[in-house]
């Protein structure tokens, strides 16, 4: 085999390969494809926008301080707490309230679902009745008993919330709709719970959540003494009929109803003589009890209850 | 003269070898030459279309952020169009997306096109865009944050805290007040981000934005959540118009598409493995070594347009186009 026999095809190979490579390069250059680039990695500095800075994002939480205390001047009163129709508040939830009453020299009777004692008998000789968020109606006989009790001089506080969805705990969480049940009892005193829950989306006018509204006193007296503002976590409003009921607290400006978004001055604590109606049941127990001035308000309510005197009721 | 033992001459045989070699070598070298040529050659500035279809989860946001980083460092990219169909996702990657887009928008025009939805975390990401294009059916808004703290976990943390030893009173505890405070912090950063970038365009107050409502495209153009009605081509043209480096129609359009996890699920899913074009998700709660105690992550914060669904282990795949 001669050198020429080898060299000539080799030269053709090199030239052809060069042409193919150059042609491919040229065609690809004309057509173009997705631009690529190497990541700049560490050369990118971090960003620190103004709205991410602590002074912009951090919030002021209401300090959980203060003391729950009951008026000590009146001693040896007995308070009845009716939890028989209460949805999610237990005796354990109300232990701070019971402790405060005990420390002030008062006693407490807690009625739960398992109590067989007639309602009237339980009320007899007590000075105050606290009913927490009843979710079913009071029968005629018990409504009459409450009326007679209050007429005789006993004091009563009724807390009630509007219809809402509640999630039950346990292994399998259940969701249910819960409504205020003691409508007829409340309406007997010219009040009832409003149709909607309240909310306030203004950051400075809620307790770190739009549903935790603030309310402020509208008049002086035993219910508002020492209170700057309270916060209610599941608050509705009190609808009143007639002139018998007086408003003691209203939700702060900008508070609206959650379904219809109506802004108004909503009453949340109303008193009709010896009956007080509060449109929220969450403030009596933790984690709401010590938020804002809730503990002072709760102390005021308890002091109001121990001042009652049911006299010869049931006797 | 041909040897009688060979059917062809030596020269022809050599050429056969040459042609064979040529084919083999060309097959190897040509793609390399093609890539070199395409990279070096494109003189036209490019509008890079970056697509996010799916939740603003870690995998999707990392991919988009990486593409945006490439766009920033590629001299040929003159503008970016964000083509988005996202209902949001966890807050942490949603913030990452915002920062990546914000960074890019600081260096070149960025125009967003809302293909389906840019809600909650999805809108968080496009808020820094210079212009937002929507269709009548596009959904934007849902500004806000939710926290998912399984009720069972909250209860268990309190009830079973006596069964293990904790180093401090707050360790391994979930407190409703603190959850709300943290949620409020994240909400403030989110709402303020929207107000910072869209405040001049919005006819809504800060409170109305914070309500968390969604708006369809036509409403969004009216209230300032979006700027114009248009399609992706309109967004590309707008991005090109905004670039000082693009003269008229002399620009190329390049697409980078990522399509992962279109369905939204708020649960303990995490990227377990990235193999080729497929991303596997596993439920971290079930992904514990045998013999070790399982710990449930107590709370998760989401910037999402949706409601929690029951958590089940699942696998979903995605492709790069």
Q: What is the end-to-end Cα distance of chain B in Å, rounded?
A: 58
Chain-chain contact of B73 with A17 (C-beta, under 8 angstroms): no
What's residue A314's pLDDT? 74
How many Cα atoms are found within 13 Å in the side-chain-facing hemisphere of A314?
A: 20
Nearest residue to A232 via CA among A179, A193, A277, A268: A268
* Distance (Å) from the alpha carbon of B221 to chain A's nearest alpha carbon: 24
Residues of A in contact with B107 (CB under 8 A): none
Residue B212 region by backbone torsions, left for phi larger than 0, else alpha for psi between -120 and 50, else beta: left
- The helix/strand/coil state of A310 is coil
Are the C-beta atoms of A108 and A306 separated by less than 8 Å? Answer: no
Checking if the pLDDT of B283 tops 80, the result is no
What's residue B276's pLDDT? 38
Q: Is B211 on the interface with A (CB under 8 A)?
A: yes
What pLDDT band is residue A255 in, cutting at 50, 70 and 90? very high
Q: What is the mean pLDDT of residues B165-177?
A: 80
Chain-chain contact of A25 with B76 (C-beta, under 8 angstroms): no
Chain-chain contact of A35 with B48 (C-beta, under 8 angstroms): yes
φ, ψ at A149 (rounded to 5°): -60, -45
Nearest residue to B226 via CA among B292, B98, B137, B127: B127
* Residue A143, burial from CB neighbour count under 10 angstroms (0-12, 13-18, 19+): middle
What's residue B159's pLDDT? 63
Chain-chain contact of B189 with A35 (C-beta, under 8 angstroms): no
Nearest to B181 among A26, A38, A208 (CB): A208
pLDDT digits (tens, 9 = 90+) for B105-142: 989 999 999 999 999 999 999 999 999 999 999 999 99
Q: What is the mean pLDDT of residues A100-105?
A: 94
Query: Hey, what CATH topology would domain A69-306 get?
Result: Rossmann fold (3.40.50)
- Quote the percentage of chain A above a pLDDT of 90: 55
Are the C-beta atoms of B275 and B66 separated by less than 8 Å? Answer: no
Q: Where are the domains of chain A?
A: 69-306
| Chain centroid, CA B198 distance in Å | 21
The more confident residue out of A197 and B173 is A197
pLDDT digits (tens, 9 = 90+) for B185-233: 999 999 999 999 999 999 999 999 999 999 999 999 999 999 999 999 9
The more confident residue out of B28 and B82 is B82
Distance set, CA A132 to CA A161, A198, A226, B148, B185 (Å): 10, 19, 23, 29, 33
Strands B46-53 and B252-260: parallel
Q: What is the mean pLDDT of residues A249-275?
A: 95
Nearest to B14 among A9, A21, A32 (CB): A9
DSSP label of A46: P
Checking if the pLDDT of B24 tops 50, the result is yes
Chain B residue whose CA is closest to A31: B38
The complex's ipTM works out to 0.75
| Chain centroid, CA A274 distance in Å | 27
What's residue A40's pLDDT? 30
Residues 227-286 of B with CB under 8 A from A: 252, 254-256
Q: What is the mean pLDDT of residues B86-95?
A: 95
The more confident residue out of B271 and B163 is B163
Best residue in A7, A27, A34 to probe B by mutation, most B CBs within 10 Å?
A34
Q: Is A52 on the interface with B (CB under 8 A)?
A: yes
Residues 20-39 of A with CB under 8 A from B: 20-22, 24-39
The more confident residue out of B122 and B306 is B122
What's residue A42's pLDDT? 28
- The helix/strand/coil state of B43 is coil
What's residue B280's pLDDT? 39
Nearest to A171 among B18, B152, B186 (CB): B152
Checking if the pLDDT of A167 tops 70, the result is no
The number of residues making up chain B comes to: 321
Please, what is the average pLDDT of chain B?
80
The more confident residue out of A169 and B194 is B194
What's residue B26's pLDDT? 79
Domains in chain B (CATH in brackets) are: 44-320 (3.90.226.10)
pLDDT digits (tens, 9 = 90+) for A36-70: 333 333 233 456 888 888 888 888 877 788 899 99
Checking if the pLDDT of B154 tops 90, the result is no
């Amino acid at each position: 085999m001669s050198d020429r026999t080898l060299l000539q095809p080799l030269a053709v190979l090199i030239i052809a390969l060069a042409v193919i490579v150059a042609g491919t390069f040229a065609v690809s250059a004309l057509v173009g494809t997705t631009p690529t680039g190497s990541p700049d990695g560490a050369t990118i500095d971090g960003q620190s926008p103004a709205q991410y800075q602590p002074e912009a994002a951090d919030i002021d939480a209401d300090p959980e301080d203060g003391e729950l205390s009951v008026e000590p001047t009146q001693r040896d009163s007995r308070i009845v707490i009716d939890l028989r129709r209460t949805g999610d508040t237990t005796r354990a939830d109300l232990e701070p309230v019971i402790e405060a009453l005990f420390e002030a020299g008062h006693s407490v009777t807690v009625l739960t679902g398992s109590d067989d004692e007639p309602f009237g008998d339980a009320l007899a000789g007590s000075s105050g009745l606290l009913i927490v968020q009843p979710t079913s109606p009071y029968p005629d006989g018990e409504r009459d008993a409450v009326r007679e009790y209050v007429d005789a001089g006993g004091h009563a506080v009724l807390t009630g919330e509007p219809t809402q969805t509640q999630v039950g705990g346990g292994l399998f969480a259940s969701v249910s709709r819960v409504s205020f049940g003691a409508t007829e009892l409340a309406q007997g005193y010219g009040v009832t719970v409003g149709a909607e829950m309240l909310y306030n989306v203004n950051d400075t006018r809620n307790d770190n959540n739009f549903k935790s509204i603030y309310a402020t006193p509208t008049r002086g007296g035993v219910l508002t003494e020492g209170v700057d503002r309270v916060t209610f976590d599941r608050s509705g409003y009190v609808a009143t009929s007639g002139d018998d009921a007086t408003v003691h607290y209203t939700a702060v400006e900008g508070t609206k109803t959650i379904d219809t978004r109506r802004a108004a001055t909503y009453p949340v604590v109303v008193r009709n003589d010896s009956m007080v109606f509060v449109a929220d049941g969450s403030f009596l127990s933790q984690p709401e009890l010590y938020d804002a001035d809730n503990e002072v308000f709760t102390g005021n309510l308890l002091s109001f209850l121990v001042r009652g005197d049911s006299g010869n009721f049931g006797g | 003269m041909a040897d009688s033992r060979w059917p062809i001459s030596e020269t022809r045989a050599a050429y056969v070898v040459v042609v064979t070699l040529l084919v083999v070598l060309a097959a190897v070298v040509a793609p390399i030459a093609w890539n070199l040529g395409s990279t070096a050659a494109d003189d036209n500035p490019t509008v890079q279309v970056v697509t996010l279809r799916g939740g603003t989860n870690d995998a999707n946001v990392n991919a988009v952020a990486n593409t945006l980083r490439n766009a920033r460092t590629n001299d040929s990219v003159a503008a970016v169009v964000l083509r988005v169909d996202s209902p949001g996702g966890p807050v942490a990657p949603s913030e990452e997306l915002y920062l990546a887009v914000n960074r890019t928008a600081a260096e070149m025009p960025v125009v967003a096109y809302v293909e389906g939805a840019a809600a909650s975390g999805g809108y968080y990401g496009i808020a820094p865009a210079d212009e937002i294009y929507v269709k009548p059916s596009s959904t934007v808004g849902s500004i806000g944050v939710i926290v998912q703290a399984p009720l069972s976990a909250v209860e268990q943390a309190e009830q079973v805290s006596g069964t293990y030893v904790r180093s401090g009173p707050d360790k391994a505890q979930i407190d409703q007040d603190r959850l709300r405070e943290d949620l409020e912090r994240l909400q403030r950063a989110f709402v303020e981000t929207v107000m910072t970038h869209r405040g001049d365009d919005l006819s809504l107050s800060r409170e109305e934005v914070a309500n968390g409502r969604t708006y369809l495209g036509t409403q969004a153009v009216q209230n300032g959540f979006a700027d114009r009605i248009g399609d992706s081509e309109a967004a590309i043209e707008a991005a090109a118009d905004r670039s000082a480096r693009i003269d008229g129609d002399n620009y190329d359009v390049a697409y980078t598409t990522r399509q992962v996890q279109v369905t939204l699920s708020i649960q303990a899913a995490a990227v377990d493995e990235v193999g080729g074009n497929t991303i596997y998700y596993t439920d971290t709660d079930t992904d514990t070594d045998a013999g070790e105690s399982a710990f449930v992550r107590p709370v998760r914060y989401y910037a999402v347009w949706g409601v929690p669904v029951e958590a089940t282990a699942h696998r979903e795949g995605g492709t790069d186009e």
